[in-house]
Structure 1
């Protein structure tokens, strides 16, 4: 079991808060698709024993691809790799790309799950974010997707926005619940360096939410979605009736995944690689028959800490069998676990270690405390 991630490094415009790798210059989009197909061909031999359960188009904004470009990429994966008959194919998309024509085409090409970047139902917020859609576009995108027959929809929202009150956040949550998606992802705004948002904050033009406000909005997120029947299966992800993202769940459970595209990461169980994050350099290397990658061989300590960190974010927790595969912690480590259990922040069973709802608020800190440093 494994997954395939394909990074599409293009966007219609740059969001003020985003530091992901992408370009707004689409003049070489065809050339990039050729490079992605070349990388898929080169890597196929080393992945011949794996079967993909998921294919995920992320970015950037994959919905800017033409139907021919998307068809070419899906075809290259299916022709060069073993792909499950029940493969989950996810496309991240902007609401303004979700026309009935595009949606119908995506469905015909085999896309069976959409991740729609709503972010907010407030036009003023969308404006300072420099999003390319309006609140009305977000509502129409969901309705169009449902009418086109997409049963698996995931909607993205953001909290902790400047001047956002708890009441406004609750209103946003009620709007997304009313749309009745199977899956909701909600992320706290972070101020990344080298973004327009960072510049505005430094200049005093915008004031970000305090840690207390962010915590309050996170707790409101969890309680409101729980009341509406959504299960928090990962810190930022909620699903109804077990409509989990199979692709992301595989990440959190340490499954191997192939990463294709500039800045993409891949993991084969022992090694991690990441590709050059420069579009031109990426394409040039592949034209020369070279993989534009940097490889890191993970130590036993690296694998222990990563397994712990990502596993604790989920409702399943971290498997002791997987965690202790190469390393057996000392008594002091188990004492820290017991201390957190006494504080009702985690639950230890013979098979796993799972954070409680209160513990999820402190997930990163708890994981860091339990890291083993060589």
Structure 2
């Protein structure tokens, strides 16, 4: 079947849904071109189908495919941000990284190397997971590219700063403790957003504070509101290179049931999207959306939410990259 695509400003965009039905054809993210169909890409969407680091319900290895399928209905103009991201920058789907599903250490090394290779041309990665273990090698690569420790906003129900689980140092609950230990995070500019639920003990919070993390709980979002939370986050991060990591379980299970470790009392999809949109103009150097587990996803709710989170992240990155390029011209 011939692919009839939208083209604007010299950018090859999504398949034209007015001429080819959205439910037809290959499911790249947002029906965008594959990486081999463009000469170069400013933003690359890449999947990491890996979930050997989960501690409860598995299935996030199928998350990247599920998010792509759920993205078929996305359209090229983002009215919330008044931007057509696929016209501002060339965005392409780079497919999936092939990583060892049986060896976590090898998988982490492969993800880091793949991320470095994909960004060697100066492009920005938006990664579809996969479980949260993958954030560590992605952060390693982002920090290496930035040449300095990076700021981070971590949207999650959980802290993910535990030390070990069954003696394992690398799991989906430990990536940000390892990242602090390795010196790849700027500990004056890191924060969790949306945390909630029971912990193993108060020491979890004490350790987290010692690492430098600020905490915005889901209750804080409810009582303080999105605008106040965004203002605090922007003040904390400033102009630093910023990595954004989104565990879809930051959303309440009513909005995202398809995840491995659901917790009651989460934020809404609307709140998450509005907080992300409030980061417009910040120096976002990479992002991931993880822990989508389609086997538990009733009516595709989680995949749809994740696809929209990725869309707004792509929009922010495209807007900033294009604005910076125009300012230099």
Which bracket does the TM-score occupy, shorter chain normalised?
Answer: 0.3 to 0.5
Find the structure with the greater CA-based Rg. 1
